[in-house]
């Protein structure tokens, strides 16, 4: 019983102290630089991570990628403000693949790990989804939506957006 009272008293003290501290304003929280997306190189000799900061003038977040050596002796900005996502090292550690927005859709870009400008690798008619390097670093496999033909687009617009799978068909839309 005595231990129970001690626990209750300590809990009440902690709760009263927490109640006295003001909450952080939303703007202060949004002003904080957030870190994320840390990627370790295959050889363990470098790390890439993203930093994101609110830019109130444009009401958008500015994200850049930073390079840092594991012992923190070397750090510098690696990729600028261009919207970059899904960065992956090649298995041999020589290249980085990433997704960036092309003219209309997310496409794959390739860059040497020593730096330079990313070069557009894919020109798919729809956005590139998930992707994976080949184990020998000589290729990249990716997932993307199938481009719809005009007839399929009309059926989707008319509400026939599901497939009926039958053993005798490849997959026909309802109403085909």
Task: Identify the pLDDT of residue 90.
Answer: 94
Q: Can you tell me the distance from the alpha carbon of 2 to that of 105, in angstroms, rounded to the nearest whole number?
A: 66
List residues bridging with 61 in a β-sheet: 54
Task: Identify the pLDDT of residue 134.
Answer: 93
Q: Can you tell me the distance from the alpha carbon of 134 to that of 16, in angstroms, rounded to the nearest whole number?
A: 57
Are residues 61 and 53 in contact, defined by beta-carbon separation less than 8 angstroms?
yes
Task: Identify the pLDDT of residue 137.
Answer: 93
Structural domain spans, the chain: 26-144, 150-176
Task: Identify the pLDDT of residue 11.
Answer: 56
Are residues 137 and 91 in contact, defined by beta-carbon separation less than 8 angstroms?
yes
Task: Identify the pLDDT of residue 164.
Answer: 56
SS3 annotation, 148-173: CCHHHHHHHHCCCCCEECCCCCCCEE
Token pair 């009926």 is found at 164
Digitized pLDDT (tens) for each residue of the chain, 176 residues in all: 554 544 545 655 555 555 556 676 776 667 677 777 788 889 888 888 888 888 888 887 777 788 888 777 877 777 766 677 788 999 999 999 988 877 778 888 898 888 788 888 888 788 888 899 999 999 898 888 777 677 777 777 787 766 555 555 454 545 54
- Beta pairing, strands 172-173 & 163-164: antiparallel
**What class has domain 26-144?**
mainly beta
Q: Can you tell me the distance from the alpha carbon of 95 to that of 56, in angstroms, rounded to the nearest whole number?
A: 34
Task: Identify the pLDDT of residue 162.
Answer: 65
């Amino acid at each position: 019983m005595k231990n129970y009272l001690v626990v209750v008293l300590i809990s009440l003290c902690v709760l009263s102290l927490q109640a006295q501290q003001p909450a952080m304003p939303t703007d202060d929280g949004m002003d904080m630089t957030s870190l994320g997306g840390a990627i370790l190189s295959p050889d363990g000799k470098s790390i890439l991570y993203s930093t994101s900061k609110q830019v109130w003038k444009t009401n958008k977040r500015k994200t850049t990628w930073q390079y840092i050596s594991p012992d923190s002796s070397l750090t510098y900005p690696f990729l600028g403000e261009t919207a970059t996502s899904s960065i992956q090292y090649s298995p041999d550690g020589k290249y980085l693949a990433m997704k960036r927005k092309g003219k209309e859709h997310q496409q794959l870009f390739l860059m040497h790990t020593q730096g330079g400008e990313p070069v557009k690798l894919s020109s798919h008619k729809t956005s590139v989804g998930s992707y994976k390097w080949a184990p020998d670093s000589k290729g990249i496999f990716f997932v993307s939506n199938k481009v719809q033909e005009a007839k399929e687009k009309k059926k989707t617009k008319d509400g026939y957006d599901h497939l009926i799978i039958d053993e005798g068909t490849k997959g026909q839309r309802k109403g085909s």
